[in-house]
């Protein structure tokens, strides 16, 4: 079962190296890595993957050097255009996996309880870190979110509680719901998850297999997390996505996903 790993990056070689080494360490070896270099310096990207991966594995690495930056979700779609795997996961360049991530997640999907299951999610560890001239120092680690055991549509409609690297989905999901909304500079994964859950179920692996790295004290925009450095942007587009769903309800004269999303967002 080949997994296509979509990894967006831009001028963060220190972070990218860690993410690549985590993929090389996976106990499941049937994967392909699509690195989408979003108008960053191409030389460090090319140098890194040749340094980290042995010659025998370099055929599984595909690098897309973008000449124009049209946003994170458009970069994800550029990676999906190249992807050939049966399964897909978006892995940001500053996050990391436990070595058994792919093996456990694919094993769970192989024994799914119902044909409507199209994806699997795991629990996530939040890693607070600091980047200095000496490298990366971990300051604290904690459980991210809550230990959820199910993924109901109403809850996802209120807010995204699964980071993209903690969600692996089958190709048929992409074929059914389409790619990511390229007009969204943030929260495109959340909007995608809502569409996914309208057609498929997401099962849960109750194990911490993903590491969501945060650098809240950084002053370097290149190293900042969008969810912390761009909080106002997240809030604006969170409201816009819900408003889009509500407008669709109004146009169709019914109570639908917009109402569910509004009520769930207010509750959370």
pTM over 0.85: yes
Q: Which of 140, 151, 162, 90 is nearest to 118 (CA)?
A: 151
CB atoms near residue 107 (< 10 Å): 14
Token look-up 């030389």 returns 43
Contacts of 266 (CB under 8 A, 6+ apart): 158
Q: Which of 105, 109, 97 is nearest to 23 (CA)?
A: 97
Alpha carbon distance 244, 258 (integer Å): 8
Tokens (6 digits) for 187: 């929260």
- Asked if CATH classification 3.90.550.10 holds for the domain at 3-267, the reply, yes or no, is yes
Residue 243 phi/psi, 5-degree rounding, is -65, -40
CB atoms near residue 98 (< 10 Å): 19
The answer to whether residues 135 and 14 touch, using CB atoms and an 8 Å cutoff, is: yes
The answer to whether residues 99 and 26 touch, using CB atoms and an 8 Å cutoff, is: yes
The answer to whether residues 103 and 1 touch, using CB atoms and an 8 Å cutoff, is: no
pLDDT in tens, 173-213: 999 999 999 999 999 999 999 999 999 999 999 999 999 99
β-bridge pairing 31-38 and 61-66: parallel
Q: How many residues does the chain have?
A: 268
Tokens (6 digits) for 61: 């690495």
Token look-up 């992807």 returns 83
Angle value at C-alpha 161, between 155 and 166, nearest 5 degrees:
130
Please tell me the chain's helix, strand, coil percentages from 3-state DSSP, rounded to the nearest 5: 40, 25, 30
Contacts of 222 (CB under 8 A, 6+ apart): 10, 11, 12
Each residue's pLDDT, cut to its tens digit, for the chain (268 residues) gives 799 999 999 999 999 999 999 999 999 999 999 999 999 999 999 999 999 999 999 999 999 999 998 889 999 999 999 999 999 999 999 999 999 999 999 999 999 999 999 999 999 999 999 988 778 889 999 999 999 999 999 999 999 999 999 999 999 999 999 999 999 999 999 999 999 999 999 999 999 999 999 998 776 666 666 555 567 888 999 899 999 998 988 898 888 888 888 888 866 5
């Amino acid at each position: 079962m080949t997994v296509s790993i979509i990894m967006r990056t831009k001028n963060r070689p220190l972070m990218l190296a860690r993410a690549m080494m985590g993929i090389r360490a996976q106990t499941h070896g049937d994967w392909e890595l699509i690195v989408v270099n979003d108008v960053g310096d191409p030389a460090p990207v090319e140098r890194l993957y040749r340094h980290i991966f042995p010659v025998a594995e370099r055929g599984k690495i595909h690098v897309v050097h973008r000449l124009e930056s049209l946003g994170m979700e458009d970069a994800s779609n550029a990676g999906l255009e190249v992807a050939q795997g049966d399964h897909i996961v978006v892995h940001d360049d500053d996050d990391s996996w436990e070595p058994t991530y792919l093996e456990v997640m694919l094993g769970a999907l192989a024994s799914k309880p119902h044909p409507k299951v199209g994806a699997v999610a795991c629990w996530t560890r939040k890693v607070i870190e600091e980047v200095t001239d000496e490298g990366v120092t971990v300051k604290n680690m904690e459980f991210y979110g809550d230990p959820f055991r199910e993924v109901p549509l109403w809850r996802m409609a209120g807010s995204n509680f699964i980071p993209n690297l903690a969600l692996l989905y089958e190709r048929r999901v992409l074929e059914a719901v389409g790619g990511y909304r390229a007009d969204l500079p943030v929260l495109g994964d959340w909007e995608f998850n809502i569409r996914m859950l309208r057609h498929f179920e997401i099962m849960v692996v109750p194990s911490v297999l993903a590491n969501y790295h945060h650098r809240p004290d950084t002053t370097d925009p290149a190293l900042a997390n969008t969810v912390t450095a761009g909080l106002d942007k997240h809030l604006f587009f969170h409201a816009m996505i819900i408003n889009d769903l509500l407008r669709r309800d109004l146009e169709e004269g019914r109570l639908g996903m917009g109402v569910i999303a509004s009520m769930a967002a207010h509750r959370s």
